[in-house]
């Protein structure tokens, strides 16, 4: 433990995005070698299209993980928003339906904030519980609206699946979103408070931070981001269901972790998460291309996530 | 006396809650008897083992997100091997599945100790790995189960020397849970190993300085969790007669029961009794709501609300204790 960090590892911990970018390039090259000609404009657009919802949902995990928390209700929140929006469109019209659908996500976030900040419940448990309650509520809600049917608005389908000049339209949503998060995490007081709380909550509290306000804002924000992800994702899939975004929850945690955000807080950032989401998406394609059974794909997926995280932590000296 | 009460207050409260719920069930459904208890016991069986697995790692200061996937692996391994096997061969197969569970858990633990990656991340990755393994063993729900295994949890208990009426009201499944967990956990709890698990969970540094081997204790705790998860998987096969490669909702449910059972997620505090009682309380609540012909979806809301309210209440109580 007293060993001086080598120059390489110091450089890597100063610029943690370099090894991730290298890994992404290696994966893409492997894909090209495996199936020459697959890496073209169309493939890139498709990869980005599927990586964007994952990266957005992973933003919830990144921001909460910076404070040492996690948001396991994000997947459910996204599903709820997507479902409520699709079923309310025939009744309320598109703009109002979108506005109404975000309300449950904010409510879930505030409930999370209340449990975590005021009652001091572990975020893992609190968000898990909120997710359970919301799933139940969604199932009951579904029986009331089953007659009205559901519509995915044209505008969301355009955003989710359309392409302009070869690039997916969802970039129009994602680029400002990512810029905002990247700017917020380093340049704004709120972003710095997240790092401060994650590094040492007691110290942050003693230096006058009202941690409960930060938690409320953070989890409500996480709910809103999850909600927007749900809207985008339903535009991509075009079929709202009761478990639409839920399967993306654990990959979103994985994307943040692979991207170098520490699950104990205070370390990492959204830049890594975006690369993490891209890496996971390319990895998914790679494993689909190789003709192996579905089970083996899961095994490799898990092992690669673990190996990447372990190597990455070794390289950047975060043990 | 008061000390024991204070120490086991949470567990006693849960037991009282369970008793109250049983009385309530009897009031809702006057002919609630063996068959009701029997179906309760069988429904609770996989949840009880999953919760026990989660409890052991949480006590050691960790968490295991791969519990449900390991159960799936155990279930399909058992079902695939027992398909067409004779009744005596099934005994060996059960032993084999338990060893497989032990190995899966030990692999989880070893990866956590040697890679030094946080436990949540390792077990999250292993969740995919075990899930994939289960799918490699069986593509869909199929396979078989030995008859004696199925009979092990069917109906009421009959002991050779006692009159049938004395023990018949007690479902075999409940007895199975109590006996198996008792045989596994009580000796461990009383030994040096049990003490080490609690020590590592409450303060790793203090444990290390008192000469407890951190890595070894962690690996053993995870291996135990794997063994218990394998038992949960076997009980799934026992109650359905087939193997199911897709993991059930046991991860979330086991975390909920652990928290309800008064085990601190930070590790080192609590016991196995509380979480198991919590499993039965949660299953009974679900059953009562079904008996009251409440929409099963509303039942999910109520279950989730109970969990959220209890953990918030528990958090506030802990906070008050700290301020005093």
User: Within the 184-223 window of chain A, which residues sit less than 8 Å (CB to CB) from chain B?
Assistant: none
B175 vs B154: CA distance, rounded Å:
11
**What kind and span of H or E run contains A109?**
helix A94-113
Place of tokens 């949660």: B282
Burial class (CB in 10 A: 0-12, 13-18, 19+), B110: middle
Q: Report ipTM (2 d.p.).
A: 0.81
Give the pLDDT band of residue A1 (cuts 50, 70, 90).
very low
Using the predicted structure, report yes or no on whether residue B290 has a pLDDT greater than 70. yes
Question: Is residue A22 a part of any domain in this protein?
Answer: yes
Q: Tens of pLDDT along A50-105?
A: 899 999 999 999 999 889 888 888 989 999 999 888 888 877 877 888 888 899 99
User: Nearest Cβ partner of A299 from B117, B121, B132?
Assistant: B132
**Nearest CA among A235, A262, A231, A230 for reference residue A248:** A230
B159 vs A115: CA distance, rounded Å:
49
pLDDT of residue A2: 44
Question: Is residue A280 a part of any domain in this protein?
Answer: yes
Residue A229 and residue A245 in contact, taking contact as beta carbons nearer than 8 Å: yes
**What residues contact residue A78 under an 8 Å CB cut-off, 6+ apart?**
A57, A105, A226, A227, A229, A230, A233, A244, A245, A248
Residues from chain A that touch B319, judged by Cβ atoms under 8 A, are 119-120
Q: How many angstroms separate the CA of residue A1 from the nearest CA in chain B? A: 14
Under an 8 A CB cutoff, do A310 and B115 touch? yes
**Crossing angle between the packed helical segments A189-199 and A170-187, to the nearest 10 degrees:** 70
Say which residue, A254 or B47, is predicted with more confidence.
B47
What the block records as the tokens of B105 is 């858990």
CATH of the domain at A189: 1.10.3470
Tell me the average pLDDT across B120-131. 88
Question: Is residue A233 a part of any domain in this protein?
Answer: yes
- How many Cβ pairs closer than 8 A exist between chain A and B? 148
A280 vs B195: CA distance, rounded Å:
41
pLDDT of residue B67: 92
Place of tokens 């839920």: A246
Nearest chain A residue to B118 by CA distance is A263
- DSSP string covering A25-45: HHHHHHHHHHSTT--SHHHHH
Under an 8 A CB cutoff, do B308 and A133 touch? yes
Tell me the Ramachandran region of residue B244: left when phi exceeds 0, alpha when psi lies from -120 to 50, beta otherwise.
beta
Under an 8 A CB cutoff, do A294 and B131 touch? no
- DSSP string covering A126-189: HHHHHHHHHHHHHHHHHHHHTTT-----HHHHHHHH-EETTEETHHHHHHHHHHHHHHHHHHSH
pLDDT of residue B98: 94
Using the predicted structure, report yes or no on whether residue A316 has a pLDDT greater than 80. no
Bridge-based pairing state of the strands A163-164 and A167-168 = antiparallel
pLDDT of residue B168: 67
Residue B254 and residue B210 in contact, taking contact as beta carbons nearer than 8 Å: no
pLDDT of residue B324: 45
B199 vs B204: CA distance, rounded Å:
7
Using the predicted structure, report yes or no on whether residue B157 has a pLDDT greater than 80. no
pLDDT of residue A109: 92
What the block records as the tokens of A136 is 């139940």
Say which residue, B319 or B94, is predicted with more confidence.
B94
pLDDT of residue B163: 63
Residues from chain A that touch B115, judged by Cβ atoms under 8 A, are 306, 309-310, 313
Using the predicted structure, report yes or no on whether residue A40 has a pLDDT greater than 70. yes
**Could you give the number of structural domains in chain A?**
1
Question: Is residue A226 a part of any domain in this protein?
Answer: yes
pLDDT of residue A227: 92
Residue A147 domain boundaries: 7-315
Residues from chain A that touch B134, judged by Cβ atoms under 8 A, are 295
B196 vs B35: CA distance, rounded Å:
41
Q: Tens of pLDDT along A109-162?
A: 999 999 888 888 888 878 888 888 888 888 888 888 776 777 777 777 777 777
**What kind and span of H or E run contains A224?**
helix A211-237
Residues from chain A that touch B245, judged by Cβ atoms under 8 A, are 295
Using the predicted structure, report yes or no on whether residue A265 has a pLDDT greater than 60. yes
Residues from chain A that touch B318, judged by Cβ atoms under 8 A, are 120
Question: Is residue A2 a part of any domain in this protein?
Answer: no
| β-pair partners for A164 | A167
Tell me the average pLDDT across B222-238. 93
Taking CA atoms, B137 is separated from A85, B49, B72, B245, in Å, by 40, 22, 10, 8
pLDDT of residue B7: 64
A185 vs A176: CA distance, rounded Å:
14
SS3 assignment, position A83: helix
Say which residue, A9 or A186, is predicted with more confidence.
A186
**Crossing angle between the packed helical segments A170-187 and A270-289, to the nearest 10 degrees:** 140
Nearest chain A residue to B130 by CA distance is A299
Under an 8 A CB cutoff, do A135 and B300 touch? yes
Residues from chain A that touch B314, judged by Cβ atoms under 8 A, are 121
Kindly report the average pLDDT of chain A as a whole number: 83
pLDDT of residue B311: 74
User: Within the 168-227 window of chain B, which residues sit less than 8 Å (CB to CB) from chain A?
Assistant: none
Question: Is residue A197 a part of any domain in this protein?
Answer: yes
Under an 8 A CB cutoff, do B300 and A132 touch? yes
With an 8 Å Cβ cutoff, is B138 touching chain A? Answer: no
pLDDT of residue A268: 83
Question: Is residue A1 a part of any domain in this protein?
Answer: no
| β-pair partners for B243 | B142
A193 vs A210: CA distance, rounded Å:
10
Under an 8 A CB cutoff, do A132 and B136 touch? no
With an 8 Å Cβ cutoff, is A263 touching chain B? Answer: yes
Residues from chain B that touch A309, judged by Cβ atoms under 8 A, are 115, 117, 121, 125
User: Nearest Cβ partner of B133 from A120, A124, A295?
Assistant: A295
pLDDT of residue B113: 92
A169 vs A236: CA distance, rounded Å:
11
Under an 8 A CB cutoff, do A132 and B307 touch? yes
End-to-end CA distance of chain B: 23
Tell me the average pLDDT across B51-78. 92
Kindly report the average pLDDT of chain B as a whole number: 84
Tell me the average pLDDT across B215-222. 93
pLDDT of residue B294: 80
Burial class (CB in 10 A: 0-12, 13-18, 19+), B4: exposed
B179 vs B241: CA distance, rounded Å:
22
Using the predicted structure, report yes or no on whether residue A7 has a pLDDT greater than 60. yes
* Angle of CA points B51, A70, B124, to nearest 5°: 55
pLDDT of residue B321: 60
| β-pair partners for B171 | B156
Q: How many angstroms separate the CA of residue B115 from the nearest CA in chain A? A: 6
Tell me the Ramachandran region of residue A316: left when phi exceeds 0, alpha when psi lies from -120 to 50, beta otherwise.
alpha
Q: How many CB atoms lie within 10 A of CB B83?
A: 14
- DSSP string covering B36-68: HHHHHHHHHHHHHHHHHHHHHHHHTT---TTHH
Half-sphere exposure of A86 (CA within 13 A, CB side): 32
Query: What is the phi/psi pair of residue B232, to 5°?
Result: -60, -40
Say which residue, A146 or B193, is predicted with more confidence.
B193
Give the pLDDT band of residue B83 (cuts 50, 70, 90).
confident
Using the predicted structure, report yes or no on whether residue B151 has a pLDDT greater than 90. no
**What kind and span of H or E run contains B315?**
helix B296-323
Print burial letters for A206-231: b (CB count within 10 Å at least 16), e (below 16): eeebebeebbbbbbbbbbbbbbbbbb
Using the predicted structure, report yes or no on whether residue A199 has a pLDDT greater than 60. yes
Give the pLDDT band of residue A4 (cuts 50, 70, 90).
low
B18 vs B248: CA distance, rounded Å:
25
Under an 8 A CB cutoff, do B126 and A302 touch? yes
**What residues contact residue B209 under an 8 Å CB cut-off, 6+ apart?**
none
Using the predicted structure, report yes or no on whether residue B162 has a pLDDT greater than 90. no
Question: Is residue A266 a part of any domain in this protein?
Answer: yes
Under an 8 A CB cutoff, do A137 and B301 touch? yes
Query: What is the phi/psi pair of residue A163, to 5°?
Result: -130, 140
pLDDT of residue A317: 63
């Amino acid at each position: 433990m007293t060993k001086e960090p080598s120059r390489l590892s110091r450089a890597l911990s100063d610029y943690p995005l370099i090894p991730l970018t290298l890994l992404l390039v290696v994966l893409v090259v492997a894909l090209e070698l495996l199936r020459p000609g697959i890496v073209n404009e169309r493939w890139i657009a498709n990869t980005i299209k599927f990586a964007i919802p994952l990266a957005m949902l992973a933003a919830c995990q990144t921001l909460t993980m910076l404070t040492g928390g996690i948001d396991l209700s994000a997947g459910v929140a996204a599903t709820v928003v997507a479902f409520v929006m699709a079923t309310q469109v025939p009744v309320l019209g598109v703009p109002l339906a979108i506005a109404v659908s975000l309300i449950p996500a904010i409510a879930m976030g505030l409930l999370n904030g209340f449990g975590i900040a005021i009652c001091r419940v572990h975020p893992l448990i609190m968000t898990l519980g909120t997710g359970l309650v919301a799933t139940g509520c969604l199932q009951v809600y579904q029986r009331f609206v089953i007659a009205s049917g559901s519509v995915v608005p044209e505008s969301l389908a355009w955003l989710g699946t359309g392409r302009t000049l070869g690039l997916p339209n969802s970039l129009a949503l994602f680029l400002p979103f990512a810029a905002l998060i990247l700017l917020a995490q380093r340049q704004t007081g709120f972003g710095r408070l997240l790092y401060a709380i994650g590094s040492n909550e007691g110290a942050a509290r003693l230096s006058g931070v009202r941690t409960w306000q930060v938690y409320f804002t953070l989890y409500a924000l996480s709910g809103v981001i999850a909600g927007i992800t749900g809207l985008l994702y339903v535009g991509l899939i075009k079929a709202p269901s009761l478990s639409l975004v839920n399967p993306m929850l654990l990959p979103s945690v994985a994307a943040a972790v692979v991207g170098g955000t520490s699950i104990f807080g205070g370390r990492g950032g959204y830049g890594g998460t975006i690369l993490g989401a891209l890496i996971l998406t390319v990895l998914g394609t790679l494993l689909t291309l190789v003709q192996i059974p579905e089970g083996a794909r899961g095994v490799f997926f898990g092992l690669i996530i673990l190996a990447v995280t372990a190597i990455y932590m070794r390289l950047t000296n975060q043990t | 006396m008061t000390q024991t009460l204070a120490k086991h207050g949470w567990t006693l409260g849960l037991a009282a809650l369970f008793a109250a719920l049983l009385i309530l069930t009897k009031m809702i459904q006057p002919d609630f008897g063996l068959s009701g208890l029997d179906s309760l016991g069988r429904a609770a069986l996989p949840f009880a083992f999953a919760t026990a697995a989660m409890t052991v790692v949480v006590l050691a200061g960790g968490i295991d997100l791969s519990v449900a996937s390991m159960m799936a692996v155990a279930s399909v391994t058992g079902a695939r091997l027992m398909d067409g096997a004779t009744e005596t061969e099934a005994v060996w197969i059960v032993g084999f599945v338990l060893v497989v569970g032990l190995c899966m858990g030990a692999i989880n633990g070893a990866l956590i100790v040697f890679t030094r990656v946080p436990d949540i991340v390792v077990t999250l990755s292993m969740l995919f790995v075990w899930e994939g393994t289960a799918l490699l063993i069986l593509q869909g729900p199929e396979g078989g189960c030995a008859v004696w295994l199925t009979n092990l949890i069917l109906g009421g208990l009959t002991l050779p020397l006692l009159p049938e009426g004395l023990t018949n009201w007690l479902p075999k499944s409940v007895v199975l849970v109590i006996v198996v967990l008792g045989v596994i956990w009580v000796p461990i709890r009383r030994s040096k190993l049990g003490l080490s698990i609690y020590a590592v969970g409450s303060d790793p540094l203090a444990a290390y300085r008192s000469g407890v081997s951190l890595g070894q204790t962690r690996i053993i705790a995870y291996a135990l969790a794997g063994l218990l998860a394998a038992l949960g998987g076997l009980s799934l096969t026992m109650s359905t007669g087939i193997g199911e490669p897709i993991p059930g909702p046991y991860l979330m449910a086991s975390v909920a029961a652990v928290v309800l059972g008064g085990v601190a997620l930070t590790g080192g505090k609590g016991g196995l009794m509380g979480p198991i009682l919590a499993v039965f309380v949660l299953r009974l609540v679900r059953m009562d709501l079904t008996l009251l012909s409440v929409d099963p979806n509303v039942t999910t809301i109520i279950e989730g609300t109970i969990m959220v309210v209890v953990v918030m209440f528990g958090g506030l109580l802990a906070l008050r204790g700290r301020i005093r």
